[in-house]
Amino acid sequence: MMLSSGETSRALRWLARAEMAAANGSDALLTHTAAHREEICRVEGYDSARISLIPHGLPDPGLAPAEGEKADSPEFLFVGRFEPRKGIDVLLAAIPRVAAACPRATFVLAGDTGSGDAWRIFSDDHPDLVPSRVTAPGRVSEAELDRLYRRCSVLVAPSRYESFGLIYIEAMGRGKPVIGCSAGGIPEVVAQGRNGLLAEPGDPSTLAECMIRLAADPRLRSEYGAAGRKEFVARFSADEFARRSAEFYATVRRRP
């Protein structure tokens, strides 16, 4: 059944009121990053002391093989919808500069291209790069996505906002360095100079600088990848998420 715009608006308002009532009647609230907690409190007026933090966790995908022969020909992987919030326009603006500075670098952009305008315009403007060095396979299966993660040298996801960013820990679990932006909860996952680099949101120049830096330094990629893998096991694995969640709910149950 299709809803009219008015019906959709009323339904969303009802859902917002129901969500607020459920939150106000809850014994405890939980979210996944401090940045998201701050945003919730700013918008909804909650007391931040009521909201506990547990980062998301994923099943351990296992460490990917070392780069080997890709040390001098890095492959950058983007995973996400081709939309402004995901920063695809920023990445497409940065790629020509990175490609010029790193002649052996390649780029795979996996995800729904949407209307296709951004990708079509880029393809028309850069026939020297598409498809020889930049490809967009569209939506891919879970098996293919795993293969792309394992094959890539760096995950680059310049989202303008993420409350957390599961894509980063998907790559970190496989021992890959990551590039994100200093926005939302991303810096709580991507630690600048430890497991990856952070660009300014919406800025192709700083994004290109991060990409060029990692493209030119295989040792740094290896160091960041190893650190990300350790971070995944310690903070972002499904086992750790389950352990912290069980402790949290046990604490709530013990309250008067």
Residue 1, pLDDT score:
52
Domain ranges of the chain: 28-55+241-256, 71-233
Residue 172, pLDDT score:
98
Q: How far apart are CA 187 and CA 199, in angstroms?
A: 10
Res. 248: pLDDT tops 80: yes
Res. 86: pLDDT tops 90: yes
Q: How far apart are CA 71 and CA 222, in angstroms?
A: 10
**pLDDT > 70: percent of the chain:** 96
pTM of the model: 0.91
Res. 5: pLDDT tops 70: no
Q: How far apart are CA 204 and CA 206, in angstroms?
A: 6
Residue for token digits 């026939």?
127
Residue 70, pLDDT score:
72
- Evaluate whether 55 touches 32 at the Cβ level (below 8 Å): yes
Indicate the helix (H) or strand (E) that contains 135. strand 134-138
- CATH number among 2.102.10.10, 1.25.50.10, 3.60.21.10, 3.40.50.2000, domain 71-233: 3.40.50.2000
Per-residue pLDDT tens digits for 119-155: 999 999 999 999 999 999 999 999 999 999 999 999 9
